[in-house]
Amino acid sequence: MKLRRLHVIPLLLLVILVMTSTGYPVIMWWGFAAVVLLQIGIVVYGCINIQSGYFVQALCKGKNEEKIVALTFDDGPNATYSGNILDTLKKYDVRAAFFVIGRNIEGNEAILKRMDAEGHVIGNHSYSHHFWFDMYSTKKMVADMHQADAEIKKVTGKLVRLFRPPYGVTNPNIKSTIKKTGYIPVGWSVRSMDTAAKNKAQLLAKINNQLQPGAIILLHDSMELTAAVLPELIESIQAKGYKITGLDELLNIRAYA
């Protein structure tokens, strides 16, 4: 069931409440409170779960049934770990996608240039990646994202089309921004939780247990553990008979304008 259809449940509960609670004001008020909380819960879940498609229909998985997956990295370029990750990808001849933060490009231009030169897809992950980014006005969001585009183009000469919202949060402002700008929103189907994983075994198990044809795997090139585990991750994915391909190939889309 699509998440938006769940709104039928609070409405039905409200109707039942009105029909059955007449003369019982305490039950009526508690019932109303429960229905409101349920409605709020649905909306909050829709905001924080990009796969729900509640506000934005993001591309979170390839449509193919073949054993093909894509690796994606957020939050770079990172002076400490991005280079190691690029070395590993080059060693295994794997293309990945990097959703970069605009403000991280200054001082790391060589890393971004290398990502592009080695055939990896570059995407927009906002300029600021501010904690309250999803609360920005549409105008401020557009300016922020265009600033990231400008920084990327300054280094690569390319205008990106793919956008991944900070933290994977979506809401009406982000929906409006995407509509105005024409970005292609991209999510994921496998959230590695590499920002919280405590060791390689935990991280590998988290990803491998969620693998399926068309999977888009979310990682971060700002994490030491991710850089360390990447060779084993690639080998374990390939050992399961999966091919790792570029995000643009998996989704059959153009990454640049």
Catalytic residues: 74, 220
How does DSSP classify residue 227? H
Ordered DSSP codes for 95-107: --EEEE-GGG-TT
Q: What angle do CA 73, 207, 215 make, to 5 degrees?
A: 70
Token output for 165: 């919202």
Ramachandran angles phi, psi of 95, nearest 5°:
-90, 140
Radius of gyration for the chain, computed over Cα atoms and rounded to the nearest angstrom = 21
Q: What angle do CA 76, 249, 171 make, to 5 degrees?
A: 55
Q: Is 216 left (phi over 0), alpha (psi -120 to 50) or beta?
A: beta
